[in-house]
Amino acid sequence: MHLAPVLLLLTATALLASLASAAEQRVSSPDGKLTLVVSDDAGLRYRVELDGKPLLADSVLGLAFADGTALGPAAKITDTTTAARKATWDDPLGQRRTVPDRFRELRLTLKEGTSPGRFFALVARAYDEGVAFRYDLPAESGLGEFILQRELTEFRFPADHLAWPGDESACAENTYREGKLSAIPQQSPDKRNAGQPFRSVLPLLVETPAAYVAVAESDLLDWAGLFLTGTGETAVRAELAPRQDKRGAVVGRVPMVSPWRVLMVGRTAGDLVTNDLVATLATPSRVTDPSWIKPGASAWDAWWTGVNPSQPKHTGLHARGDTRSHREYIDFASEMGWPYQLVDWFWYQNMTNERKNVFSRPNNPSGDFTQSTPDIDLPALVAHARDKNVRLFVWGHSLDLETAGIDKTLGYLASLGLAGVKIDFINSDSQEAVQWCVRMLEAAARHKLMVNIHGAYKPTGLARTYPNFITQEGVLGNEYNKLGGNKNDTRHSLILPFTRGLLGPMDYTPGAFINRTPSRFKVTFPAQGVGTRARQLAMTVVYRSPLLVLCDSPANYRGQPGVEFFRDLPTVWDESVVLSAEIGKHLVIARRSGKRWFIAAMNDGDALTLDVSLETLGAKRRGWRLREFADGADPAAPETVVETTRDLDGVRTLTLRLAPGGGYAAVISR
């Protein structure tokens, strides 16, 4: 990924402040409205102010180690250094091409007053879009090799605000339940984790009177993933994923830094949707030549099609395809201008057919990626796809990839001419899991393979560091329409843009064309989608994913109302603007690709009529045309899509009429 030329303004001044005068240090955002304040008068603490008023109250900072020592409880500020940046970075795979990177930074050197005295640092940044801080353990800290048992960090709000914490999940396939901060559990409700702290999947979304705040993390490269647990009060505390080997949370050696602890801030809920702070804080690209990384849409036969006569059509979560069915999907991808087809599981010999993760002990022979099953002729599919100007992704179990050898296996798959791999069932964000993902992405980049990770933790900016990490799951998506439990309802899918969607690319696999109203929806085979077809169209724009995997079959798409919206559909954007938003209720967003604007709207279970302004899009000028895909007038007919094309000369406002569980998708072009 190319970094745009930037203007970097740095000022570094060692102040050698006295302990008395260093009791409180402040760093403010470039616009002066957000301030992060760090103090040492009662142990290391911080607070956040917006417009001079508390956004976060005094909150504890610190690290606790396995040897019983800690950094933070008796820390004193000894030095401070300041810096500032006014720059941008180029994001060819995101929701806007040019991303601001403007902040002021405060680096605090601290000495822990207890014996033995140890030095460490806290780095704090204030952006206009939020604040962030991280722990820095330099070589001179005196820690040497260490085992971090837990992190003392807390996020204490001044009142019992409304919040949307994530449920527990090993792979971030969770819902976000609305409630007060004080209601966030302290203990896990899962009987299998009895006595363990509740681990709420990030982000935590909080609504305060002044702004919306989302707690997240960034630049997770060699640390344990961050969860949050309740306190019964207005604070939540850090809870790190335990290591697989039970040696605390993080095993390390100085110098070492923690990930960034991030507070994304938006005056409105819509402001958060286009907040890129998690990616901005991440380590810039380590892929020196990313020219081979190509975004685009993909067909996918695992949603419900399976024509293998020797196997049941539906086995477990997915169908089993064969060479003939994959050729059909390749042909359809070619017709639609999609560059990819995804060959999902059951294609190679000795595949691990369990939800084990890469750290499990295999009880079967390791998967053999060089040998296809009798029903799949992978070289023939690669050749057929090449003739159709389509390339293939193939699925792989993390355990099979590890036991067969990451570099060897990825090298072989690359030699076949594949575009990428979909790696599944990591199901952890322990330090070892994080290290494994980095190692796997590095190997994939060497072999010029893109990667779609499923069954893994939430995004932490890793897709900026390794742009071949083209998308990931970490979301309770359309797949759950096959699993039941009514988790993926119209409200859940409208909470996602304000929670999970804030963190990065999301392989929700939209595009279901067997559409049912929420009251008529059932778990069936073939699979159904909840809400209207226009809603499924809108998801492809609302949910950003550089690799856009569309879930339904050629038989369900060909000749159907609405399918033309998917033709040559862009999957990355030059600009994004939220036109109207209310968490869990509705979202209207416009995204620009080149000279075309794509508008998408979704609403919950209530019908909605909404006027949205086009002023910010500059589309009121002469010569612009609108092509719409809207809900029909009959709410009992969710598969109806009303397609119209009209000129926009002089039109400044669009009136959207959304059915219950409805949607709207449109393209504005010259």
Q: Write down which residue in 281, 302, 335 finishes a domain.
A: 281
- Cα 637-641-643 angle, rounded to 5 deg: 150
CATH number, domain containing residue 635: 3.20.20.70
pLDDT tens-digit map of 426-485: 999 999 999 999 999 999 999 999 999 999 999 999 999 999 999 999 999 998 988 776
| Residue 308, pLDDT score | 34
CA pair distance 535, 520, nearest whole angstrom: 16
pLDDT value, residue 1: 43
For 626, half-sphere exposure in the C-beta direction (CA atoms, 13 angstrom radius) is 26
CATH code for position 155: 2.70.98.10
Domain C-terminal end among 237, 266, 281: 281
Place of tokens 């293939």: 392
Position 374 in a domain? no
| Domain presence at residue 79 | yes
Its domain, for residue 208, covers 24-281
Residue 414, domain member (yes or no): no
CA separation for the pair 363, 360 (Å, rounded)? 9
Q: What pLDDT digit, counting tens, does each position of 335-356 carry? A: 999 999 999 988 999 998 888 8
Does residue 266 sit within a domain?
yes
223 is a domain residue: yes
Residue at a domain's end among 265, 281, 297: 281
Residue 612 pairs with which residues in a beta bridge? 654
Q: In the beta sheet, which residues pair with residue 667?
A: 598, 627
pLDDT on residue 321 = 80
pLDDT of residue 619: 57
Residue 655 has φ and ψ, to the nearest 5°, of -100, 115
- Report pLDDT for 357: 87
Sheet holding 154-156, edge to edge: 154-156, 235-240, 226-230
Q: What is the pLDDT of residue 330?
A: 97
Tell me the per-residue pLDDT of 511-542, one tens digit each, with 9 for 90 and over: 999 999 988 998 887 888 999 999 999 999 99
Q: What is the pLDDT of residue 485?
A: 66
Within-domain flag for 605: yes
Instruction: Give the whole-angstrom CA distance, residue 332 versus residue 327.
Output: 9
C-alpha closest to that of 217 among 179, 257, 251: 257
In which residue ranges of the chain is pLDDT below 50? 1-21, 305-318
What is the structure's pLDDT at 6? Answer: 35
- For position 491, what pLDDT does the model report? 95
> Closest by alpha carbon to 380, among 404, 405, 406, 347?
347
- Domain count for the chain: 2
Q: Answer yes or no: is 171 within a domain.
A: yes
Residue 78 belongs to a domain: yes
